[in-house]
Amino acid sequence: MTIRPILRYPDRRLALPARPVTAFDDALRELAADLLETMRAAPGIGITAPHVGVPLRVVVLELDAKDGPRTYVNPEIAWASPEMILHREGSVSMPGVNDDVPRHARVRISYRDLDGNMQSEESGDLRAVCHQHEIDQLDGMFWIQRLSRLKRERLVKKFEKLSRG
């Protein structure tokens, strides 16, 4: 397992849609293990392959030690509840800044596991927020794009100041 360098906002590669994974092999398992190690070192609770410059649809989440890490390959939102919640979000690619983002309270995702088997998972609260946040990233949408222009500009200025300091 290797800790890989994390792309920093506004790296253009973070705005590119990731490609679907087609090979479920040792290289994919190695990427997932590296993502987990990189996320833990950041630290964070979620990371995508694009965060480390790999344009593939792979997400690793670890919301608590009890549940352990989970890897989602080619995840897609299959259903989203009409109820919305606000949740504080940030990114390993933009450390030190966060803000409240509106998200669906519950979602159902379909994805493949590391062996290529189709899976489905319904989630609420933090896990639902993370699913939406990371799938947005796979689609090339950085989390601050969900905010108003004013909030976005304020966060970018704050991040630039933190990066200089």
Catalytic residues: 134
* CA pair distance 55, 59, nearest whole angstrom: 11
* CA pair distance 35, 41, nearest whole angstrom: 10
* CA pair distance 107, 81, nearest whole angstrom: 6
* CA pair distance 105, 107, nearest whole angstrom: 7
